[in-house]
């Protein structure tokens, strides 16, 4: 296979949904853009800037716990069986989504403001390229939050992890460290839970997120020969503040951690 043919194939895979008819909307990117020095580190095709209808988009470096707010839409039968931007085949019955700038295989919890229902999806496509829309859900995901009939819905997006291609799993800590992200945690936090299963950690994280103005995150850690998911409450400005909050006794068995 000559170099020209290889280049054509690579460009085709990258273009994905940016070559598909009615989903060409215009919009601006959210979150943090990666710098020119990051460009060398995150040099995969799907992390390079790209242009749709004259507008340039910059895939971003994001952290577990990052949140975004906007309007979601969904796409289904017209694109079922076609290639996504990362080269997978789109299946409207899978829990996937398209986003303009999040790294491919980012796992996001999408919560509808109208219904309060949530869906956990993996980003495997680019779009929606329209003003005021931040994510395009598969039909299955849209059904989970009751927005198939309305077509769009105001939602909150929360980054909860990063998966291996095609698998809805939280990767090992080494893979997280090497992934296209930069996790930023305040110096002091309160550990309020520890779980062997990610599901338990996600329930606790959601239940207490925002309590008294603090935020919860899930830490994927290896303890001895076990993998555990720890829930931290963060946002304390000092160890004294964390100690005072711990002393109110709301979280039995909690303790202060420092990173």
Q: What's the mean per-residue pLDDT of the chain?
A: 75
Query: Which pLDDT band, with edges at 50, 70 and 90, does 98 fall under?
Result: very high
Locate CATH 2.40.40.10 in the chain: 3-162
Locate CATH 3.30.70.1070 in the chain: 185-258
Q: Which stretches of 75-187 are assigned E, i.e. beta strand?
A: 96-98, 106-112, 118-125, 133-137, 152-162
Segment 225-249 mean pLDDT: 82
Cα–Cα distance for residue pair 179/177, rounded to 1 Å: 6
Query: Which pLDDT band, with edges at 50, 70 and 90, does 108 fall under?
Result: very high
Q: The CATH number of 185-258 is which of 2.60.40.1170, 3.30.70.1070, 2.102.10.10, 3.40.50.11140?
A: 3.30.70.1070
11 phi/psi in degrees, rounded to 5:
-65, -35
Q: CB count, 10 Å around CB of 109?
A: 19
Q: Please write the tens of the pLDDT for every residue from 54-90.
A: 777 778 777 888 888 899 999 988 899 999 988 889 9
Query: Which pLDDT band, with edges at 50, 70 and 90, does 246 fall under?
Result: confident
Q: Please write the tens of the pLDDT for every residue from 132-154.
A: 789 999 999 999 999 999 999 99
For residue 27, what pLDDT is reported? 26
For residue 156, what pLDDT is reported? 93
For residue 45, what pLDDT is reported? 58
Residue 236 has pLDDT above 70, yes or no: yes
Q: Please write the tens of the pLDDT for every residue from 157-209.
A: 999 888 765 444 444 445 444 443 333 334 788 999 999 888 888 899 999 98
Sign of the torsion formed by the C-alpha atoms of 236, 237, 241 and 243: positive
Cα–Cα distance for residue pair 235/232, rounded to 1 Å: 10
Please tell me the total number of residues recorded for the chain in this structure.
Answer: 259
User: Per the structure block, which two tokens stand in for 23?
Assistant: 């989903």
Those residues with Cβ within 8 angstroms of residue 7's Cβ, 6 or more apart along the chain or in another chain: none
For residue 138, what pLDDT is reported? 95
Domain topology for 3-162: Barwin-like endoglucanases (2.40.40)
């Amino acid at each position: 296979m000559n170099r020209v043919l290889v280049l054509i194939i690579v460009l085709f895979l990258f273009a994905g949904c940016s070559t598909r008819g009615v989903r060409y909307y215009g919009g601006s990117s959210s979150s943090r853009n990666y710098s020119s020095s990051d460009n060398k580190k995150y040099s995969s095709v799907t992390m390079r800037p790209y242009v749709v209808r004259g507008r340039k988009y910059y895939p971003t470096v994001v952290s577990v716990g990052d949140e975004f707010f906007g309007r979601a839409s969904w796409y289904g039968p017209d694109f079922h069986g076609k290639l996504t931007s990362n080269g997978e085949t789109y299946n409207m019955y899978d829990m996937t989504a398209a986003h303009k700038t999040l790294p491919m295989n980012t796992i996001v919890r999408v919560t509808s403001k109208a219904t309060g229902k949530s869906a956990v999806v993996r980003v495997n496509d680019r779009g929606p390229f329209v003003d005021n829309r931040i994510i395009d859900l598969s039909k299955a995901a849209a059904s989970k939050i009751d927005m198939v009939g309305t077509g769009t819905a105001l939602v909150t997006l929360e980054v909860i992890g990063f998966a291996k291609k095609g698998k809805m799993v939280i990767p090992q800590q080494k893979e997280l460290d090497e992934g296209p992200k930069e996790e930023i945690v305040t110096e002091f936090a309160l550990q309020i839970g520890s779980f062997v299963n990610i599901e338990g950690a996600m329930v606790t994280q959601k239940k207490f997120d925002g309590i008294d103005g603090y935020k919860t995150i899930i830490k994927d850690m290896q303890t001895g020969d076990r993998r555990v998911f720890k829930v931290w409450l963060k946002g304390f400005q000092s160890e004294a503040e964390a100690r005072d909050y711990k002393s109110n006794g709301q979280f039995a068995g909690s303790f202060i951690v420092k990173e």
